[in-house]
Amino acid sequence: MAAKHPFIGGHVSAAGGFYKAVENAERIGATAMQFFGASPRQWFAKIPDQAAVDAYQSALKKSQVKAVFLHAAYLPNLATGFAESYEKSIKSLSEHLQIVTMLGANGLIFHMGSFGGEMTHDEAIEKTAKGMKQVLKNVPGDAFLVMENSSGGGGKLGSVVTDLGAIKRLVNDSRVKVCIDTAHAFESGVFAEKITPENVREVFDEWDREINLKDLVALHVNDSKTKHNSHTDRHENIGHGYIGIEGFRALAGEKRLHHAAWMLEVPGFDDHGPDKKNVDILRGCFV
């Protein structure tokens, strides 16, 4: 991966079969991809049969895709104070991680969730770590469980790297990794309003101290439709939001991030999700 740029791609549809995700990734010129292993809006995840796994793996071997991550459902919240939701969250994440393992993908990226007045911030950190330990115990293997930073606000965990670092240390498992979403980092105030090579270096110096940048395995590369420090999560096409193309050039210049998979979750110029134009724009940020 010491090439000119890292593996680059985006979130693609797996509608019609997992092998379709590979076809859709190839269509946009991706070398990295992300997709949902099951419906993102349901607690229940259907475990695939062997035929579906075989068809996917056959398509993947013939493709240019080298890094594959699945995204968990949106419902799980390991920081919840409600016992039923907590157990359902562990079950959902375990099922999605099982699908990752069956497919031989790199890992499962999930949202950190949020807590209310029923517990403190520190208690939410501890409860999240406990839930992650159970998920990893439920699904042995090599697949990563990947924490994603949040845009902040509303009691959301993970808007700052110290949250992720604290959870990572509590779980204390080499399978726990991290994903940074560029829009979330901008919307939470982690990135500066004007992103420069200098403040990018400062941000990732802190991230290296907290989580070890070798364990940052993925980036969700998204421009932001909302202003700096808005705590509102809305993605925009690369160079068309408040981060801007110079911000992404500054991020691309941080070579400590080049080992990770850079994956777009943008609306697309035709409103059908990450497209070749966005992939090409991102690739053009690397010099």
The conformation of residue 160, written as its DSSP 8-state character, comes to S
Euclidean distance between CA atoms 192 and 169, whole angstroms: 27
Question: Is the pLDDT at 235 greater than 80, yes or no?
Answer: yes
pLDDT in tens, 124-150: 999 999 999 999 999 999 999 999 999
Give the CA distances from residue 166 to residues 15, 28, 204, 262, in Å, rounded to whole numbers and listed in that order. Answer: 37, 37, 17, 24
Q: Please report how many Cα atoms fall inside a 13 Å half-sphere around the Cα of residue 129, on the Cβ side.
A: 17
* Residue 279 pLDDT greater than 70, yes or no: yes
CA–CA gap between residue 110 and residue 117 (Å, rounded)? 23
Phi, psi (degrees; rounded to nearest 5) at 49: -85, 170
Cα 143 from Cα 138, distance rounded (Å): 12
**H helix or E strand, kind and range, residue 133:** helix 121-138
257 token code pair: 């991030």
Residue spans per domain, the chain: 8-283
Mean pLDDT of 245-255: 98
Question: Cα(232)–Cα(113) distance, rounded to whole angstroms?
Answer: 15
Backbone torsions φ then ψ of 245, nearest 5 degrees? -65, -35
Q: What three-state secondary structure class fits 60?
A: helix
Residues 66-107 have pLDDT tens digits of 999 999 999 999 999 999 999 999 999 999 999 999 999 999
Unique residue bearing structure tokens 């069956």: 102
pLDDT digits (tens, 9 = 90+) for 143-169: 999 999 999 998 999 999 999 999 999
pLDDT band at 54 (very low <50, low <70, confident <90, very high): very high
- Mean of pLDDT values over 243-248: 98
Q: What is the fold, at CATH topology level, of the domain defined by 8-283?
A: TIM Barrel (3.20.20)
Average pLDDT, the chain: 96
Q: Residue 64 half-sphere exposure, CB side, CA atoms within 13 Å? A: 11
- Pairing outcome for strands 223-224 and 235-236: antiparallel
